[in-house]
Each structure stands twice: as structure tokens, then as C-alpha cells.
């Protein structure tokens, strides 16, 4: 028994010393000190020894166990220290090297123009409101005096989710929700993303942005609409900008108009940008239809109002003299770095 313990001691210590990684060292521990290890197997044979030899052999076996455990612990500490030193060598940072310059981003052209528009209207006493992009047919069409059968409801123009739910085609539903939630005087703009079933080209996209404006109060007239939009155009495009109001038709306003501004490139003289007309269209507007006011819970006999809707992409293209709407969405850094 003594010879077997001595032979086991020499073999175990040699393998512990030769273990070059923690996993191998653990395997050695299990092989000798585990439940089915060699030392455990020898101890199970102690019962076959003469009674007078058992105490001495038991003491020798316990001393051997302690010696092997200490050797394993010492070797494990050495291996961990070596691994830590190697990791430090691999991950060493030379603090004398110059730092890498972090390139900062900036606002997108659409965000730049939206911030300018909001600042202009906030200065005129408007507040900014928002609404859901997934909208009910009622708010997007019916409440805005667009009855069933109207061409705007065609599934080829509108993304329907269900028969009564859709992706909003305009931000005008926000004015209906605002009239339901607030009492006059109301003075708000509602910027947001809208969706229409359009093919992508230089001037169209199935996803774009609108800014809806709404004013409701006692005695609101077309003159106030005209003054508001003239101030907006001059602040955005310069004090020399002139406006032109042309009669038009929108189901939710009466009377309605489309608003042009003098071409900022040629000053109204005519050029390729304005196609020789001297004017460029920027938005649609009009006096809120009495039926729309009534649908919003407002008495059209006491109150009147005006509304307007402008495409954010359109005024951004004009603002920066960009000729292709797709540039705003392609995330080409060569384009975006110009702003």
C-alpha cells in the first residue's frame, strides 16, 4: 500500500507540473482526487489491511491528499497569473498614440427645415401637435368631408390595413382630433409622416412628410390666412419673396386656394427651375369647411377658421435648391455633408 501511494504521489505531482492550462489541470485533479480517482480507489481498499496498519496508511493517504491539493492550488495560481500577463501584453494600450478623431453628425436637411418652420409658426403663437400615423378612415376622410366613393379613398392611392383603418394620407386628421379635444381659440401646426401609394421618382415617394396648420376662432377671415402665409414665406425664403393665391378645390376647405411664391432662383423673371413661369407652388390652403368644423364639435355659426398643408420635402427642395427628392432618403454622406 505504501509503495502504491508513493508511486501515485510521484505520478500526480509530475502531471500537475506539466499541466499547461486550467482545463488540463482540472482533468488531473479529477483523475487523482475525484470520486472515481486513483487515490479514492486506493482508500477504498483500506478495509483489506491488517488493523494495526490502517492508522499509519490512513495518515499517509491524508497527507498525500493535502499535498496534491496544495500542488494543484499552487499550479492553478501560476497558470492564472501567466494568462493574466499574456492578456495584458495583448491588450496593452499605448497612451502616447494620438487619439482617433470622432466625426460628429448633424441635423438632416429635413430636420433643419422643419425646425425653421416650427420656429416661424411658434413665433406667430402656434403650438405643435401630433397624431397617430395609423389612422381611422373616419378621421382621415369622412370627418374631413371626403365621403365614401371619393377618388382619394381608392386603394391604389391609400394603404389600407383593414376596411376602416389605414396609414394616414395627410396630417389633416390631427386637426380633427385637435378640434375634438380643444375649444377655440385654436392655433396649431401638425408636422408628421404620411403615406400614399406612389411610385418613387424625383418628386414622389410612398412615404413623405406634411405640415398641417389650423386656426379656429371667432371672426377668422381669408385675409388672416393670406397674412399668415405671406409672413411664413418671407421668413423662410427671404423678405423679397412674393406670394400668389390661386383658386382651387379641396373637400375640407371653402373657399380653397393654392399658394405660389416668386421663384427664389430668378426672382420671378423666369428660369429652368420655375419652368419660365416665375412662380413655384408650395402649399394648399383655404377656409375650414363649415361641415368640418361641425364634425370637430365646433359651432360654424360662431367660429370660423383656416387651414393649410405643406409638404416638408417640397419646401426643403426649394430651400436648398435640390432637384431630386430621393437624395433626401439615400443617406449618401457626400450629399448630407453639404448641410
Residue 245 lies in a domain: yes
Same domain, 73 and 155: no
Contact (Cβ atoms closer than 8 angstroms) between residue 217 and residue 197: no
Note the pLDDT tens digit of each residue in 222-271: 999 999 999 999 999 889 889 999 999 999 999 999 999 988 777 778 88
Residue 98 lies in a domain: no
Note the pLDDT tens digit of each residue in 163-184: 899 999 999 999 999 999 999 9
Provide the 3-class DSSP secondary structure of residue 209: strand
Same domain, 162 and 229: yes
Same domain, 19 and 167: no
Same domain, 132 and 191: yes
The CA distances from residue 201 to 142, 234, 290, in Å, are 30, 29, 37
250 φ, ψ (degrees, to nearest 5): -130, 140
Residue 220 lies in a domain: yes
Note the pLDDT tens digit of each residue in 19-77: 888 888 888 888 877 877 777 777 666 666 667 666 777 777 778 788 888 888 888 89
pLDDT at 156: 65
Same domain, 237 and 123: yes
Q: Is the pLDDT of residue 13 over 80?
A: yes
Q: What is the DSSP string of 222-241?
A: HHHHHHHHHHHHHHHH-TT-
pLDDT at 127: 96
Same domain, 306 and 263: yes
Residue 95 lies in a domain: no
Q: Is the pLDDT of residue 5 over 80?
A: no
Alpha carbons 230 and 227: distance in angstroms, whole number = 5
pLDDT at 280: 86
Same domain, 255 and 328: yes
Same domain, 158 and 191: yes
pTM of the shown model: 0.67
pLDDT at 19: 86
Supply the CATH number for residue 160's domain. Answer: 3.30.930.10
Select the more confidently predicted residue: 217 or 96. 217
Domain final position from 90, 125, 143: 90
Alpha carbons 303 and 18: distance in angstroms, whole number = 94
Same domain, 83 and 39: yes
Residue 301 lies in a domain: yes
Provide the 3-class DSSP secondary structure of residue 188: strand
Note the pLDDT tens digit of each residue in 291-329: 999 999 999 999 999 999 999 998 998 888 888 889 999
| Residue 137's pLDDT band (cuts 50, 70, 90) | very high
Same domain, 81 and 30: yes
Residue 140 lies in a domain: yes
Residue 17 lies in a domain: yes
* Range(s) of the domain holding residue 21: 2-90
Note the pLDDT tens digit of each residue in 96-127: 888 888 888 889 999 999 999 999 999 999 99
| Residue 151's pLDDT band (cuts 50, 70, 90) | confident
pLDDT at 177: 95
Same domain, 85 and 128: no
pLDDT at 301: 94
3-state secondary structure 256-272: EEEEEEECCCCCCCCCC
Domain final position from 30, 62, 90: 90
Alpha carbons 295 and 150: distance in angstroms, whole number = 18
Same domain, 171 and 43: no
Residue 284 lies in a domain: yes
Task: Give me the number of domains the chain comprises.
Answer: 2
Amino acid at each position: 500500500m505504501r509503495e502504491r501511494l508513493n508511486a501515485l504521489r510521484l505520478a500526480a505531482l509530475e502531471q500537475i507540473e506539466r499541466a499547461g492550462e486550467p482545463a488540463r489541470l482540472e482533468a488531473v485533479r479529477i483523475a487523482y482526487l475525484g470520486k472515481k480517482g486513483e487515490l479514492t480507489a486506493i482508500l477504498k481498499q483500506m478495509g483489506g489491511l491488517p488493523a494495526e496498519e490502517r492508522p499509519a496508511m490512513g495518515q499517509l493517504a491524508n497527507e498525500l491528499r493535502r499535498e496534491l491539493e496544495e500542488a494543484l492550488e499552487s499550479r492553478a495560481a501560476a497558470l492564472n497569473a501567466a494568462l493574466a500577463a499574456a492578456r495584458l501584453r495583448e491588450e496593452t494600450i499605448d497612451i502616447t498614440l494620438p487619439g482617433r478623431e470622432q466625426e460628429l453628425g448633424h441635423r438632416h436637411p429635413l430636420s433643419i427645415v422643419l425646425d425653421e418652420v416650427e420656429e416661424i409658426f411658434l413665433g406667430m403663437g402656434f403650438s405643435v401637435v401630433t397624431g397617430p400615423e395609423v389612422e381611422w378612415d373616419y378621421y382621415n376622410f369622412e370627418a374631413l368631408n371626403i365621403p365614401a366613393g371619393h377618388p382619394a379613398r381608392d386603394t391604389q392611392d391609400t394603404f389600407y390595413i383593414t376596411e376602416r383603418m389605414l396609414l394616414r394620407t395627410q396630417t389633416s386628421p390631427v386637426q380633427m382630433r385637435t378640434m375634438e379635444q380643444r375649444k377655440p381659440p385654436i392655433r396649431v401646426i401638425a408636422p408628421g409622416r404620411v403615406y400614399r401609394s406612389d411610385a418613387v421618382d424625383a418628386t414622389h415617394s410612398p412615404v413623405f412628410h406634411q405640415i398641417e396648420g389650423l386656426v379656429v376662432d371667432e371672426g377668422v377671415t381669408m385675409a388672416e390666412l393670406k397674412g399668415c402665409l405671406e409672413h411664413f414665406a418671407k421668413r423662410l425664403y427671404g423678405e423679397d419673396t412674393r406670394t400668389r393665391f390661386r383658386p382651387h378645390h379641396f373637400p375640407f376647405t371653402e373657399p380653397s386656394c393654392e399658394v405660389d411664391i416668386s421663384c427664389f432662383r430668378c426672382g420671378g423673371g423666369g428660369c429652368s427651375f420655375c419652368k419660365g413661369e416665375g412662380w413655384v407652388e408650395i402649399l394648399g390652403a383655404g377656409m375650414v369647411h363649415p361641415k368640418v368644423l361641425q364634425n370637430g364639435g365646433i359651432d360654424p355659426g360662431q367660429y370660423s377658421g383656416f387651414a393649410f398643408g405643406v409638404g416638408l420635402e417640397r419646401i426643403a427642395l426649394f430651400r436648398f435648391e435640390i432637384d431630386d427628392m430621393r437624395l433626401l432618403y439615400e443617406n449618401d454622406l457626400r450629399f448630407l455633408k453639404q448641410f
